[in-house]
Structure 1
């Protein structure tokens, strides 16, 4: 693969080293699209979030430096202003929650899960003083106003899996557990929270796909491919930060180095090949899609486009932040 950049590895207890990034664009050639409501909606969403979550400087500046508004706009380019606002509120919350996990123990995560899932199950009546729970209650009460019942259940299930995976990561880290590629992939398909993002594709398009469509093996295989691609690209780009703080337990490159005895560049190259194979899996399954009739096929096409937007949007967002990615951990 053609190299696109070189990262220098900096670590207090090792000599300087480096690795060449794989060309992630060579196999992810889908067009990048941008939501036209991004600027106004993102400003309002961020200000609301800072107030509700009690975020103050310097955290505000740090949060804005990650340019999540670009990520949101890339991943949901077709959402109208109202739906895009609610999606942005959730994604801002999810980013902050993921950052919060770094300082949590198992009991913290269990308490957060109970609070947040309760807020999602009854966003009107549920009462809490937990800021993250209150934010869940707020954005989800607005989402459920227009979301279909199946889409709503898929979102709740995805968020529950996200919180369960966060607790499992913390427990595994405390126990010194290491992963092979299979177990690591299974965990990452939940720990990124992307299952919530899949449900939000339906929400943004004001659809409510039947369960028999979304649970079809071909659709699930396409979801898994996009989930793997976005997670693995993130792992490649965040490896420098994670190794510098000695926290590579949950990183694809480190998993491959441990499991297969590869050196750093070998593991990076292999990671790039896995990203390429994920895109190929997606395309292979797209050619095997069954038909559910004209109207459902139209909606499935929108859903598939939404998955592509998540893949290409995640990649472009990561690669416009090379300086920040040198300082950041996995998201």
Structure 2
């Protein structure tokens, strides 16, 4: 935390809020993970509890119906389990090790929440993903379900890119890393389920507007860069991993860690300024209010959650 404070990272100028049912949903989501055998007792269970998925979801989605907050929390819980399996349990050490799991999960996404008698058996990660897709399908918003499935496909394929980098001990170029980080962070599917939770309906024409797409990119960037800045100290204590903006800047620009941390913070601060300008332009349309509120909440929630996250201690 001292390193982050010294880097000059700017606090997002949005109100911090928290859903009143956060603690209740935390227990329910952990019970869901245990019932599906997503984690076992021991280090993996302790890591998942320490991640506090509900705390992040409750701050990102402070006013939603409880069942929709729970759906978002379960997605974040599932993403944390996948992330830890890749980073901490060596599933993502090389593409050949990860590929069978990715193939199974892509098969789940192809079924879009349906399960016929011919559907192949899946492991705990597949069962968890199928349950999330089934519950999204029940809300009868097919365009949103298709968007979620596409974003999760991008996430899974980006994990293979990470695994290839680890196998070859390759540090990506900065521009490449920034592009791929939008997918490896799982932010886009999380935003989609927050849109569902908050009844955001910008419409297909608005959804593909260049300014809206750019704001979504900035939102994903800010969430992921904030995550990188807060998690860097923990990551450098373990096995070397090239997938952090501070590590990439240090390696590709020949900077020491403190200088790279300051450069990463400046990247975040500049992105936040661009976000505020882009948001102000979109805010002129009253129909965009709910959409903008979701993005603003995610940026603030990530900052507040990261400050207290045991996951990054």
Which of 200, 218, 237 is equivalent to 1:225? 218
Q: 1:39, 1:263 → 2: CA distance?
A: 40
CA deviation string 1:45-84 (max 9, x = no partner): 2112112025332232332122222111111112201111
C-alpha offsets along residues 274-303 of structure 1, whole Å, 9 cap, x if unaligned? Answer: 1111111111212333877xxxx42x2211
Counterpart residue number, 1:270: 263
Structure 2 residue 32 is the aligned partner of structure 1 residue 76: no
Choose from 5, 19, 36 the match for 1:52.
Answer: 36
Cα pair 1:83 1:204 within 8 Å, conserved: yes
CA gap 1:283/1:190 in 2 versus in 1, 3 angstroms: same
CA RMSD of superposed structures (Å): 2.0
Q: Hey, what does 2:100 align to over in structure 1?
A: 111
Matched, 1:286 2:279: yes
- Alpha-carbon distance in structure 1 between the residues aligned to 2:221 and 2:140: 26
Structure 1 equivalent of residue 114 of structure 2: 124
Which one of the candidate residues 150, 164, 168 is aligned to 1:157?
A: 150
Tell whether the 8 Å contact from 2:38 to 2:125 is kept in structure 1 after alignment.
no
| Separation (CA, whole Å) in 1 of partners of 2:11 and 2:79 | 28
Q: Which stretch shows the higher mean deviation, 114-123 or 267-276? A: 114-123
SS of the residue corresponding to residue 287 of structure 1 reads helix
Shift in Å, 1:144? 1.1
**Alignment map for 1:197-236 (pairs within 5 Å):** 197-236=190-229
Greater mean deviation of Cα atoms: 303-312 or 279-288: 279-288
1:162-177 aligned within 5 A:
162-177=155-170
TM-score, length of structure 2 as denominator length = 0.90
**Deviations 1:14-64 (CA, angstroms, capped at 9, x unpaired):** xxxxx864343x341211111122122221121121120253322323321
Task: Report the alpha carbon displacement of residue 136 of structure 1 after superposing the two structures with TM.
Answer: 1.1
* 8 A Cα contact 1:76 1:84, kept in partner: yes
Query: Matches of 1:320 and 1:213 in 2, distance apart?
Result: 36
Native 8 Å contact 1:150 1:208 kept in 2: no
* Counterpart among 65, 80, 84 of residue 50 in structure 2: 65
Deviations 1:191-231 (A, max 9, x none): 00111012112211234443321221111111111111111
Partner of residue 186 from structure 1, selected from 179, 185, 188 = 179
Instruction: Answer yes or no: is 1:90 the counterpart of 2:71.
Output: no
d(CA) in 2 for partners of 1:246, 1:98: 15
- C-alpha distance after superposition, 1:286-322 (max 9, x if no partner): 2333877xxxx42x2211110111111111111013x
Residue-by-residue CA offset, 1:169-203 (whole Å, 9 max, x unaligned): 10122123222221110010110011101211221
Q: Which runs of 4+ in 1 moved over 6 A?
A: none
SS in 1 for 2:2: strand
Q: Which runs of 5+ in 2 are unaligned?
A: none
2:85 is matched with which residue?
Answer: 100
Which segments of 5 or more consecutive residues in structure 1 lack a partner in the other structure? 8-18, 327-331
Say which of 270, 293, 312 aligns to 1:305.
293
Partner-residue secondary structure (3-state), 1:94: helix
How many pairs are equivalent? 304
Please report the TM-score for the alignment, with normalisation by the length of structure 1: 0.85
Q: Is the 8 A contact 2:283 2:289 kept in 1?
A: no
